[in-house]
Structure 1
C-alpha cells in the first residue's frame, strides 16, 4: 500500500472517513430537519457536530497532516474542499458534508479561493487518499510532488498555493513523529528526555 505523506509510521490511517461523514450528515438532518446548509452546523466551534467532524479526521489536517498534538485545536477549520465561489452562491451544495474537510488554518487560508477544473477534484480528494498519489514525503521530511506530475500546472499550483514546500512542514512532521514515539514508549523510564526535546522544539515552532 502506498505511503500517505500526511501520516507518520505511528499512526493508524482511518479507512471509513466517507461513511463516517455520511453518518454525521444523517444525524444532523435527523436532529435538525429544517437545516439546509450542513456547513453551518459543523462549523460551530465547540459544538458536538464539530467535535465529531474533527474526530472523523483524527484531529489532523486533511491536506498537510498536522495534528492537534502539534498545534491547538483552535487552529483548525472546516474547509470547503471545492471553494464556495465555484458554486455561484449555491451555498446549500457548497455546504454539503461531502464538500467539507478538516483543515489547519494555514492550509485553509492559503488555499482560499483556489479554483480547479472538475476533472481535478477526484485527484485532490483527501477522503479516499487520492491526493497521496500526487505528493510524497521524502527522507528529509519534505513534501514533494510525484515526478510524473511536476509538469502539471494545476497540481503544481495546488502544491504552491497550500505552501506544502515550506520548511515548517518538515518541523511539523518531525514533531508528529516525536509525539508518536513518545506515546508508543510512554512507559520507558527514559522517555521524559524525549518529552523535554519535544517541548523545546514545540516552543521554537510556535515562535516562528
Structure 2
C-alpha cells in the first residue's frame, strides 16, 4: 500500500505542487494583472484556471483522494484551507497557498471548521505531514494514525469531513479497480469482467 492514504498504487505521485499552483497564478496575472483573490478566478468551472489547478492535484480531492475517475469536474471545488471568514477581507483569503482542491462533500462538510494554528501543518493537504496524520487500514478505511489519536483538532477534522465514512472506502476500491483495468488492455475478457464489477460498485457508491 502506498504511503499517501489518498492515492492507490495506480495513482501518479503529485510532484512540484507549489510550483504548479504558482503557474496558475501566473496564468491569471497575464489576463488580470491586478488580481489578488485567486479564488475568484480559479473556482469557475468554465475557465482554464480551474483545469490547471486540478491538474496540479492530479485531479484528486486533496482531503479524501476521490478522483475525476469517479466524480465529474463540477463536483470539485476550490476550498479555503483557512476559512475565509477568518480574514478581515475576503480577498485576503484567496492567496494561492490557502487554496486547495476539494470534492464537494469534503468542502461543504469542512465549511467553517476552525483550525488552530498549531495544528494546521498536520492537516494542510499540500504538506507531507498529512500523510502521517491519516492512514489506510487493512480494510481500506481512512483512520487517524496512532501518533495523532489524542489530538482533538484532528479528531474533529476527521469526523467533520466524514473521513471515517464507508463511501471513502468504496472510492478507494473503485480507483484501485479502475487503475487495474487500465493495465488489462491486452486481456479483453478480464477487462470486460472487471468493467462490469466497476459498474456495480459505482452504482452502489452513487446510491449512498
What band does the TM-score fall into relative to the shorter chain? over 0.9
The residue that corresponds to 1:67 in the other structure is 67
Residues 27 and 49 of structure 2 are in contact (CA less than 8 Å); yes or no, is this contact kept in structure 1? no
2:56 is the alignment partner of 1:56: yes
The residue that corresponds to 2:177 in the other structure is 178
Can you give the 5+ residue segments of structure 2 that lack an aligned partner in the other structure? none
The separation in 2 between residues aligned to 1:164 and 1:95, in whole angstroms, is 25
For normalisation by structure 2, the TM-score amounts to: 0.95
Residues 18 and 128 of structure 1 are in contact (CA less than 8 Å); yes or no, is this contact kept in structure 2? no
Q: Map of 1:16-31 to 2, 5 A cutoff?
A: 16-31=16-31
**SS in structure 2 of the partner of residue 39 of structure 1:** helix
1:129 CA displacement:
2.4
The residue that corresponds to 2:153 in the other structure is 154
Deviations 1:114-163 (A, max 9, x none): 01111222111211222111010011011010112111111111111111
Can you give the 5+ residue segments of structure 1 that lack an aligned partner in the other structure? none
Number of residue equivalences: 207
C-alpha root-mean-square deviation of aligned residues, in Å?
Answer: 1.4
The residue that corresponds to 2:42 in the other structure is 42
**SS in structure 1 of the partner of residue 199 of structure 2:** helix
The residue that corresponds to 2:7 in the other structure is 7
The separation in 1 between residues aligned to 2:185 and 2:160, in whole angstroms, is 38
2:99 is the alignment partner of 1:133: no
Deviations 1:73-95 (A, max 9, x none): 2211111011111113x222200
The residue that corresponds to 2:202 in the other structure is 202
The separation in 2 between residues aligned to 1:82 and 1:178, in whole angstroms, is 34
For normalisation by structure 1, the TM-score amounts to: 0.95
